Amino acid sequence: MSDIFSLVRLGALLTKEFIQMRRDRLTFGMMLGVPILQLVLFGYAINTDPKQLPAALVAIGGDRYTRAIVSSLELTGYYRFDHVVASAAEAEALMASGEVSFVVTIPSDFSRRVDRRDHPQILIEADATDPSVASGAVSTISTVAARALLREQGLEKAAAENAAGQLDVVVHRRYNPESVSQYNIVPGLLGVILQMTMVMMTSIALTRETERGTMENLLAMPASPAEIMLGKILPYLAVGAVQVAVVLAAASLMFSVPFTGSLVLLLSAVLAFVLALVLLGYTISTMSRTQMQALQLTFFFFLPSLLLSGFMFPFRGMPGWAQNFGEFFPLTHFLRIVRAVMLKGAEFPAVAFEIAMLGVFIAAYAGIALMRFRRTLD
């Protein structure tokens, strides 16, 4: 029977496997780190009903009715009025750049029309590029604002019966008035697809040479680390160009996603984004010994990037620490650019900061990769 099954041999094999797991610290760390990361992100960072959304207030008159409505909106928890502007043009610039999700406009004659019971109006403009962000806040505004106005008039007892007819709240869902989810998801898929393929393919650029036994020949060539890096990553720019063309064509022909901005500006941002991704993948390849390790590190980067970038869940709905963490991913900034250019028609000043951040990622990843490059096989 010992020739068929032996506990001694099984024990030896198990011991060997545990020793191997202990030596492969990266794999062991992934087995522990990924579940913890998922628990933290899904348990604390993800929120499908975002609160404390940044809003701009356009109100020339500072009357008591205006103050009552603004206070009531803040008390709902959805609005955070951290911008008070004097003109609609300033508010438009803030919304185009993504700094605010709502613009509340209260006309200068609002107080006079309230006292005359002349159907006062306020205007709420919501950034509907992500329909899930605006839905909760917009659905509550009419009732909340109307009841606040009645309370300020001393008609609180009649608020429940008269709220609907005392105030006319005009809601404009900007950039996506029909709240079509594809308008938000499909442009974001451009960034997700590029990240998944570009980082994964370039992350095995050097480890593949090592496993095939050709790394020694590569090191023996009279080429500098920068030349080797460029030789490894530049071919993937062509692959990225094909993917961009496919996604943009599908967005227009299959999903009818509007394109209101500059194609040149979008392609310039795509080029910076793809360059940052391939440099990130190459940096991962300098830190890995095997292709398996490289793919594990790629997955460890891809998971939080996908969840914290604003692609799957509203970025504004996450707590402050999660938003700060999300700023360290190139995908976060690229999603803002592609949605702003395609849906809002944003020009360069509105996305200049996000493009500059992609430039920072390019410089950082290139510097780390060159420092990590090893001239020997040891």
For residues 218 and 343, membership in a common domain is answered with yes
pTM for the predicted model, two decimal places: 0.81
Query: CB of 340 within 8 A of CB of 265?
Result: no
Q: Is residue 218 part of a domain?
A: yes
The residue among 174, 195, 220 that closes a domain is 174
The residue among 145, 174, 203 that closes a domain is 174
For residues 349 and 269, membership in a common domain is answered with yes
Q: Is residue 337 part of a domain?
A: yes
Report which of 189, 207, 288, 282 is spatially closest to residue 243, judged by C-alpha positions. Answer: 189
Its domain, for residue 144, covers: 53-174
Per-residue pLDDT of the chain (378 residues; tens, 9 = 90+): 456 778 888 888 888 877 877 776 766 666 777 777 777 777 777 777 788 888 898 887 777 888 888 888 888 888 888 888 888 888 888 888 888 888 988 888 888 888 887 888 888 888 888 887 777 667 766 667 666 666 766 665 554 445 444 678 888 888 888 888 888 899 999 999 999 999 988 888 778 777 777 766 777 777 788 888 888 888 888 889 999 999 999 998 998 899 999 999 999 999 999 999 999 998 998 888 788 888 888 888 888 898 899 888 888 878 888 889 999 999 999 999 999 999 998 899 989 999 999 999 999 999 998 888 776 555
For residues 124 and 152, membership in a common domain is answered with yes
For residues 67 and 115, membership in a common domain is answered with yes
Task: Residue 75: give its domain's CATH number.
Answer: 3.40.1710.10
For residues 188 and 272, membership in a common domain is answered with yes
For residues 290 and 152, membership in a common domain is answered with no
- For the sheet containing 79-85, what is the strand order? 79-85, 53-59, 102-106, 121-127, 168-174
Report which of 209, 201, 273 is spatially closest to residue 233, judged by C-alpha positions. Answer: 201
For residues 157 and 229, membership in a common domain is answered with no
Total domains in the chain come to 2
